[in-house]
A and B are shown apart, each in its own frame.
Chain A
Amino acid sequence: MRKNLLVAMIVVVCSVMALSVNTSQTNASSFGMVAAANPYASEVGAYILEIGGNAVDAAIAVSFAIGVVEPYASGLGGEGYAVIAMADGQQYAIDFRAAAPAMATYEKLTEEGLRISTAHRTARGACVPGTLAGVQAIYELGATLPLETLMEPAIRLAREGFIVDPTFAQTIADLYDALLNNAFDFLDEGLAWEAGQLYKNPDLADTLEHLVTHGLDDFYTGALADAIEAFMIENDGYIRKEDLESYRSFVREPLHGTYRGYDLYVPHPPVSGPHLIATMNILEHFNLSAFTWDDPLGIHIIHQAMLLADLDRRTYISDPDFHDMPIMGLMSKEFARSRAMEISLKQAINPDNFWDFVGDAYPYEDGKTYVEVILESLMQEVATAQEEIYESPSTTNFTIIDGDGNAVSWVQTVSSFWGNTYYMNGFFFNNQLQNYAGTYRPGDVINLTPGMRPRTTICPTIIKKDGVVRWVLGTPGGGRIMSTMTQMIVGLIDFQLPIETVVGLPKYAAGTAFRTLPMEDTFPESTFQFLSEVFGHNISLYSYPDLYFGGPNIISRETSGMIVGVGSIRRDGAASAPEK
């Protein structure tokens, strides 16, 4: 059924766009590649490359298109982060994360008899959306085609419709009550859209056309901003026009780390770039290539490294405009050595004792070695956020390489699927409020603070070798993002597996949010047995393939120059290539 729907969707897209691009789950081309969670979106990107756009042009077009065909996972009411590597050597990390509105405080919530856990699926759950500010910044950095041209495919998809896929339908079913209450106009006369139906969103088409006419900034300062404020007031939401007017995206150089001779370019806090580099630094101290992907000792080591890095993430990572954090220490090889020492090759860390294993990264900010620090035995008290914040398997990612070697890794989201479920002018608002601490805790780096961007795990990444882009990676998946990213990088670099294999291999997850070891059920039985009976892991099985573990859409630039793309197997992803 899924394969038939994918074929039907591709046929419809091709006929709608009169394209000469080719699309499949795994694809190879020397002209460029777009990998995305939805074939409509990947085809849009390949179409833009086909008509002469570069990777930045294609990325902007895909951002709009995927917000149309995956309204549950991202869109105008959402936010994200992108990492770009241009062929001329320029590199950018663009932060367009949502920011807490001025009214969003614990006091306000308490006054209304609410907590974050009860407010995030109301209009109050929306933080100031950053998608369009990000698109504007990225457009100015490197686009070559008119913005109208880049938005036209998305407008056409919204106006003429597209075939609903199983993920779209299933996510509606999962949240039907809330959507019925808050987004009746989105539904099919009150009913859930079904896989195989043609879905049109004329309201969104109108909104996008409005933006073409009036400029993207209208969302933040113009008529759309007025409409958003009015909607929020009517629905007791917190966003006001002042919040929109004061919103900014940030353009920085990506953070840089290395892993076995490869260069990793990753985003800044409050997302998980430093976390990824810290994890890979720990793993660099183990000879992982001596293992196979399903070896229980190898899995155990990777799992424990991911857990330790997650402890540190939850301790330190926040919005750098609001909190100082020892980022250089966290990403240092010396700190990683001290963390590697915490990994027992005989026994997994007991979940009851997770918080005994937090690392102190501050001493490493000054460039001290692990020998110096440990001998000095200086440990500062740091506030640790021990509250678990559940992250749903939501969000979307896409990756692009064009024929000139420009590369984009882009992740965008409305936080949970369908965000806060409030629907206006064809799009849903995010519910990023859920990613702040549930209650105020002194010293907690993720206390709800007006203007602050919440910490999340997204991590668009570009990996280079000797200055040349080798892989463009990213994945959705909430709290499982780091686990999937780590396993993919180990698979590519240590096990030297092709990207189709690293995407398709069963996955597992590690982190402080997991008291068990979640694993997809297609590892060998002996692996499960060894992990549980020898290392003491408490395994919880998921039927392969499970969306819970994310849905990476990634691209490889082979040493031959061929570009290979893989769409996610867990979410109807696809890779599209121009034919010239």
Chain B
Amino acid sequence: MKKAVVIFAVLALMLVPIFAEEVGPFYDQPIFITSAGQSPGALQMSVLARAVQLTHVFERVLSAEEIDMSDIGTVIIVAGASGKGLGAAGIDTEVEIARVLGIVEKAKESEIPVILVQLEGAPRRGPSSDQIVEALIPFTDFLIVKLDADEDGFFTDIHEEHEIPILFFERTNDVREILRNLFL
């Protein structure tokens, strides 16, 4: 099933240039990128967005109250718990989940789509990371997941149960093309 989803998604994205005039970008810029768990993945997402020349803002620990959603087209959350990152931010997993939930709830109120990304793969799976993902699923419109993060079917199950579209990728660099096709 996972392979079918991947093939479908890749084919769908390959068809985008052909129908570019009719289809256009799937999601809007500017993009607000933040971390859910304070792992380095969110900063890498900013690097990827910059490489594709997407208009975006990256903030590691901003709360919902500090964000003006009227200036935002899409919210990208990069999920991954890092003890080091949370410690540096002076917060724990519960506080981090509350922060990010505030952001996605505000995005929903403003009808701004939320893309949830698992960028760092299997090394960034674990109880805290999974807890973060599960908390955000009800607000997620699209999933982008590193293939080796789904060896146990965790994200495939989410996709099937919640009917959230999902794209898998093998290498972090592959995400450039995904972003290009989603936003340009």
Contacts and interface: CB of A to CB of B under 8 A. Distances in A.
> Do the two chains belong together in a single complex?
yes
Contacts of B172: 188, 191-192, 194
A561 interface: no
Contacts of B40: 173, 176-177, 192
B173 A189 contact: yes
Interface in A155-213: 166, 169-170, 173-174, 176-177, 180, 188-192, 194-195, 197
Interface string B66-86: 000000000000000000100
Interface in B2-48: 39-40, 43-44, 47-48
Shortest 9 CB-CB distances between A and B: which pairs? Answer: A176-B40, A190-B47, A191-B172, A173-B40, A191-B44, A191-B47, A176-B43, A177-B43, A170-B123
Interface string B107-130: 000000000000011110000000
A495 B130 CA distance: 43
B33 to A, nearest CB: 15
Interface residues of B, number: 17
Interface of B: 39-40, 43-44, 47-48, 50-51, 84, 120-123, 148, 171-173
25 contacts: A1-B122, A1-B148, A166-B123, A169-B123, A170-B123, A173-B40, A176-B43, A176-B44, A177-B40, A177-B43, A180-B43, A188-B172, A188-B173, A189-B51, A189-B173, A190-B47, A190-B51, A191-B44, A191-B47, A191-B48, A191-B172, A192-B172, A194-B171, A194-B172, A197-B171
A498 B48 CA distance: 49
Contacts of A177: 40, 43
A189 B173 CA distance: 9
B11 to A, nearest CB: 25
A166 B124 CA distance: 12
Of the candidates A170, A180, A192, the one having the most CB atoms from chain B within 10 angstroms of its own CB is A192
Contacts of B121: 194
Contacts of B50: 190
A128 B40 CA distance: 31
A197 B44 CA distance: 17
Contacts of B148: 1
B68 to A, nearest CB: 26
A166 B120 CA distance: 12
Contacts of A197: 171
B41 to A, nearest CB: 8
Contacts, number: 38
A221 B48 CA distance: 41
Contacts of A176: 40, 43-44
A192 B44 contact: yes
A169 B43 CA distance: 16
Nearest to A166: B123
Q: With a 10 A CB-CB cut-off, give which of B40, B50, B121, B122 has the most chain A CB atoms.
A: B40
Contacts of B84: 174
Nearest to B45: A191
Given A190-B50, A190-B51, A191-B48, 8 more contacts: A1-B148, A173-B123, A188-B172, A189-B173, A192-B172, A194-B121, A194-B171, A195-B123
A188 B47 CA distance: 11
A189 B47 CA distance: 9
B47 A180 contact: yes
A173 B43 contact: no
A168 to B, nearest CB: 12
A1 B122 CA distance: 10
Nearest to B44: A191
Nearest to B124: A173
Nearest to B80: A173
A190 B45 CA distance: 10
Name the residue in A1, A174, A194 with the highest tally of chain B Cβ atoms < 10 Å from its Cβ: A194
A245 B22 CA distance: 67
Contacts of A170: 123
A174 B123 CA distance: 12
A572 to B, nearest CB: 14
B56 to A, nearest CB: 14
A191 B173 contact: yes
B58 to A, nearest CB: 12
A88 B128 CA distance: 57
A174 B85 CA distance: 9
Contacts of B171: 194, 197
A169 B148 CA distance: 15
Contacts of B48: 191
Contacts of B122: 1
Contacts of B39: 173
Interface in A415-455: none
A188 B171 CA distance: 11
A176 B85 CA distance: 11
Nearest to B123: A170
B144 to A, nearest CB: 15
A508 to B, nearest CB: 21
A428 B50 CA distance: 26
A189 B50 CA distance: 11
A169 B39 CA distance: 14
Contacts of A166: 123
B150 to A, nearest CB: 14
A194 B171 CA distance: 8
Nearest to B122: A1
A194 B121 CA distance: 10
A118 to B, nearest CB: 14
A167 B69 CA distance: 40
A177 B43 CA distance: 8
Nearest to B47: A190
Nearest to A172: B40
B54 to A, nearest CB: 14
B120 to A, nearest CB: 7
A166 B121 CA distance: 12
A545 to B, nearest CB: 16
A173 B120 contact: yes
A384 to B, nearest CB: 29
Contacts of A173: 39-40, 120, 123
A133 to B, nearest CB: 34
Contacts of B173: 188-189, 191
A3 B44 CA distance: 27
Nearest to A191: B172
B124 to A, nearest CB: 8
Nearest to A1: B122
A194 B172 CA distance: 8
Contacts of A180: 43, 47
Nearest to B151: A1
Contacts of B43: 176-177, 180
